[in-house]
Structures are given as C-alpha cells and as structure tokens.
Amino acid sequence: MILLKPIKFIDSNMNTLISDLQTLIRQPSVSAKNEGIEECARLVKKILTKSGISSEILRIKKGVAPIVYGEIKSKKNSSKTLMFYNHYDVQPAEPFDLWDDPPFSGKIKGKKIFGRGSTDDKGELITRIKAVEAFLKTTKDVPCNIKFVIEGEEETGSAHIDAYLKKYKKKFACDGVIWEFGYVDSKNRPIIGLGMKGLLFVELSLKESVRDAHSSLAVLIKNPAWRLIQAINTLRDSNGKILIKDWYRDVKPFSKKDLELISKEPFDEISFKKEFGIKSFVANKKGFEAKKALVGGPTCNIAGFISGYTGEGAKTVLPKYALVKIDFRLVPQMDPKKQVKRLKAHLREKGFSDIQVKVFHGEAAARTDPSNPFVAQVQEAANESFESSILNVSNAGTGPMYSFVKNLKAPCISIGSTFIFSRIHSPNEYARIDLLKKTTKCICLIMDKFASS
C-alpha cells in the first residue's frame, strides 16, 4: 500500500520531528507582548519550505501579526482541498519561577518535550507539517490539495482572522478544516472535537478619587472595589447561572444526536478533581450534567481583579480605582455584540451606570454537524492510529472556528496530540512524544481518507 510508505517514514524520522519542534519552542512568540512574532513567522515559513511545502507570509496592515500560508497541489486529486489551521503564537510563560526549566528550552525529559508551545500550538503544527512531508518524501505527491493557514494572534483572541479570511477568501477556499488542536484523554483516546464555544472578554472598571487614600478615610470616601464587587455579584448566582436579562434567550438547545453523543463521552470525574485539587464542581454537578456543562454551558468567569495594594504584608490603603476582567463563554446562536448590549443594559438597570465597560474581543460559537461525512473520515483515521476515539460535540474552550465556518463554508474538526493534562497555558507545559507520532500518522490517514471519499 502507498500509505505504508509515509507511515514508515514517520517512524524512522521522529528525530527530525522532535528537532524541528525544539527549534520552534526555542523561538519565543508571545502575542500578548508582541515578543518574537515576526521572527517566529519567518521560522515557520522556513520549516514549511524545508518540508517541501510552498509558503509565503501574508499581511493585511502594519502592526498586525502576519499569517504564514502554505500550499501543495495534488497531482492526482485536485478536486478536494484540506486545510490545516494552526497558530504560531503562544501564551506568556509567566510566572517564570514555577518552571522547572527555562520555558523556551524545548528540553526533553524521558518521553516528553517541555516548553511553552510544546503542545499549544507548535507541537500540533509540527504533526501536520510532518504528515505532509512524509507523503512528499515518499510518494512525491499528496492525496489531495493541502493548505496551511497559520496565524499569530490566536492566544490574544484572533482579532484579525476574520479580516484575513475575507481578504484571502478565494486563496483559502477548501472543503474541510482540521483545527489547530485536539485533546487526548487519560486513556490515550483522541477526543474529536466538532465545535468550540464562543467568547466575550470584557473589563469593568471604576475610578472614585484622584489618588489612593489612607484607609481611615473609608468612612467618607467610597471604595471603588466594594462598588465593583456589588456590581459583579449581580451577574451570576452561586450555582453559575447568569442573571443578566435575556442572556440565554438565543441559545440553541442540544439536538437528540448531540445528547446521544454527550451521554457516550467518557468523563473521569475522580481524575479531573484530583488533577486540579478540587472536591466538587459548580452547583455540585455530576455525571451527565457535568458533561453537558462542559460542552454547552455558558459561563461568567472572573479572570482577574485589581485594586489597591496586592503586595506582601499589610498596607492600609483606600484604592482610587478598581478593575475586573471577565470572560463569558458563549454557545451557538449567542451573538457577542448582542450579549454586550445585554450586559450594559443590566448594569444600568441595577444602578451601576457609573461603571465603565471595555470590550476586548468577542467570538461566536461554532459546531459541525455529526452527520457530516468529514466526521466519519476523521474518526476512522483516529481509530486506526489510536485504536479508539471519542466524538465530542463541542470543546469547552474557544477559538475563531466561527469565522472559518462563516467565510469558507467548510466543516471544522479538532483532532491532535494534546494530552488532556499536559499543562497548556501553565508552567511546565509538555508534549508527549508518543502522541506526537500517533497524531502525525493520524493526519496522514485523514488526508488519504478525505481524498478518496
């Protein structure tokens, strides 16, 4: 079989995969701080070119992170096009003192590669590149047309991906998208994600006086932190239900097929709680209800609260201002712009019109229909590479999937090598080498099945 050649190539060339991943990790690319973005984009282009993939750097305007675009046209099947969407930017590595080794070292310990981006998303990206390279090196062709869209702003909300998709709509045209990541559960089964939640990230702030004051003056000067606490306390109840009027009005309910898939999804509550050192879930959810919440539960989360003195020891101060950062996870049919209006109306109605609302970004949710043929092709490939797999109606996290579905009209599916407890976005992030290998083989199988369907 022709497919055996690229599979064997992957087995005998894992050292190159590991080396290229280490090279990517060692190049910092923190979009939140605009650190190393241009350098990493050029490095990704270089790795694509070395692998035999025609590549270029695309831009829309000065100051915006570029997209690295790659393309290979199939000689034998030019009627089908598969896209790989990934990102080369990473989360900040702070706090540095919690890392066992430098965060951009790419150090190998045992069967793991450590470093910021080792899984999210440089590890995932390298599996896609090496799968394509395996075909090119062994067959001089790819089963179908292949496109890479690799952005540099995913970790800060993909603010310009929609503009890129609109400008390069014809160039990016495809029949299916393999998303930038995919989890592997504690039993080494890939979780095939058919969707992602949306996100609304806002900042609420209030300034009371011109400067910080002695806390003895709290009998006369209002404390903005208390006022902000009172305001955010009206947003949700202790069970996580969001109290903003009409917040759930547009929510699309689960279909019978969705509920069937959710019921089949495994969820190890004991391992999950142990990993995070917790005793119970919000509203004491269990079993099916916990799984439904992960897949389709809107959230209102305080991501950070800043006010007054936060250093060591005591300082009796009355702060001049207070600020809270909040992220709302959204589900299908919830429009971020509508939800912002509802939030502002809620604050006005509750008497908090003095609180400033700053919107950072908003993304709608997206899901691929489980009956789409692309789903069966990906799952068949996953079962061959990993022996078994799990279909997931929607990931609990967020990415710009809706923009791809809206602009390209193509189904998007997540599958990858990210072990569920690999500490992404945290100190000591790592990638498992065995999962990198299995995922690279899986991508080869997906390309083959997608082309022959």
pLDDT band at 275 (very low <50, low <70, confident <90, very high): confident
125 token code pair: 């990206």
Mean pLDDT of 406-434: 96
pLDDT band at 308 (very low <50, low <70, confident <90, very high): very high
What are the sequence ranges of the domains in the chain? 4-194+368-452, 198-251+298-363, 253-295
- R_g over Cα of the chain: 23
Q: What is the mean pLDDT of the chain?
A: 96
SS3 label, residue 68: strand
- pTM score, whole prediction: 0.88
**Axis-axis angle for helices 433-452, 14-25 (nearest 10):** 110
pLDDT band at 3 (very low <50, low <70, confident <90, very high): confident
SS3 label, residue 441: helix
Mean pLDDT of 19-46: 98
Contacts of 72 (CB under 8 A, 6+ apart): 52, 53, 54, 132, 136, 142, 145, 146
Which residue(s) pair with 300 in the sheet?
A: 328
Mean pLDDT of 314-318: 96
Q: 403, 431, 407: which is closest to 14 by C-alpha? A: 431
pLDDT in tens, 158-188: 999 999 999 999 999 999 999 999 999 989 9
Contacts of 312 (CB under 8 A, 6+ apart): none
Q: What is the pLDDT of residue 195?
A: 96
pLDDT in tens, 355-378: 999 999 899 999 999 999 999 999
Q: 437, 432, 441, 431: which is closest to 117 by C-alpha? A: 431
Residue with the larger pLDDT of the pair 314 and 186: 314
109 token code pair: 């310990």
Residue range 198-251+298-363, CATH number:
3.30.70.360
CATH class of the region 4-194+368-452 = alpha beta
